[in-house]
Amino acid sequence: MQLPLVLLLLSLPGCLSIQGPESVRGLEGGSVTVRCDYKPRWETYGKWWCRGAYWELCRTLVRTTGSQLEVKGDRVSIGDNQSHHFLTVTMEKVRQDDTDTYWCGISKSGPDLGAPIRVTIEPEGTLLTTACYPTNGRAGVSSVSYSR
């Protein structure tokens, strides 16, 4: 019974063309940076950052044209590193009401490609704990508190 799942995945090529983190957290007043990696061949296409749980209804906050590599909007900017196939979105002076689902995406003819990212902004003073990663060959846990 595995075949239907494989067919479903093949029918959603957008999910494999661009990928970002499932979720990111930031502190009120600080900034949040999100990186989305995309597959080679999409370098020269426009990239965008959109807000809203529903893809069809989301509001585009900032977009590149493909030749413009960096575009700034209101408290948000997007950069496209075409030689290494990723885009970077930076949200600045974030507020708790910026908490929402966002999408990083690629403009193309036909349906665009996109990946959803849950962005959560915590009140000032919250300690944000990042995932475990090895340090000097040992497993370690890193706690990071962001400042303005």
Ligand X SMILES: *[C@@H]1O[C@H](CO)[C@@H](O)[C@H](O)[C@H]1NC(C)=O
Footprint of ligand X on this chain (CB under 6 A)?
Answer: 81, 83-84
Of residues 43 and 92, the one with the C-beta less far from ligand X: 43
Of residues 42 and 112, the one with the C-beta less far from ligand X: 42
Distance of alpha carbon 49 from the chain centroid: 8
Smallest distance, Å, CB 90 to ligand X? Answer: 13
Of residues 83 and 109, the one with the C-beta less far from ligand X: 83
- Residues 47 and 44: their CA atoms lie apart, in Å, by 9
Extract the tokens encoding 87: 């885009």
Smallest distance, Å, CB 64 to ligand X? Answer: 13
Extract the tokens encoding 34: 């999100």
- Length of the chain (residues): 148
Extract the tokens encoding 18: 């661009």
Of residues 81 and 126, the one with the C-beta less far from ligand X: 81
Smallest distance, Å, CB 22 to ligand X? Answer: 22
Smallest distance, Å, CB 122 to ligand X? Answer: 28
Residues 6+ apart with CB under 8 A from 145: 27, 127, 128
